[in-house]
Amino acid sequence: MNDHFWPSIYPGLIVALLIGVATGGIVAIATGLVGGLAGSVGAYLLTTYLGLDESALSLAILLAGATGGGYLGTQAGSRLRKPRG
C-alpha cells in the first residue's frame, strides 16, 4: 500500500458516518462506519488494480464503494437493533 491509501479512505469514513447519522442510532453509526471502511478499501483495491490511482474516476468509485458499504452497514445495524417477535 502506498502513500495514497489512508487519504483515500477518509472520504469513505465521512460518507459512511453521514449515512449512519441519517439512519440514527449508535449501532447504525458503528456498523455504517465499518461498512463504509470495507467499501472504501474494496474500491481502493479495485482502482489500484485497474490502474486508475490518480484520476477523477477513482474518486467516484471510492465514493460509490463507501456509500454502498455504509448503506449496507447501517441496514445491518438497524436490523440488529430491532426486537424480534
Domain total for the chain? 1
> What count of residues does the chain have?
85
Residue indicated by cell numbers 440488529: 80
Residue 7: pLDDT band (50, 70, 90) is confident
Query: Over the stretch 37-85, which tens digit does the pLDDT of each residue have?
Result: 898 889 888 988 988 877 788 888 888 988 888 888 888 887 776 666 5
Domain that holds residue 55: 26-77
Is residue 13 a part of any domain in this protein? no
Residue indicated by cell numbers 470495507: 38
Residue 1: pLDDT band (50, 70, 90) is low
Is residue 38 a part of any domain in this protein? yes
Dist CA 21 CA 58 (whole Å): 25
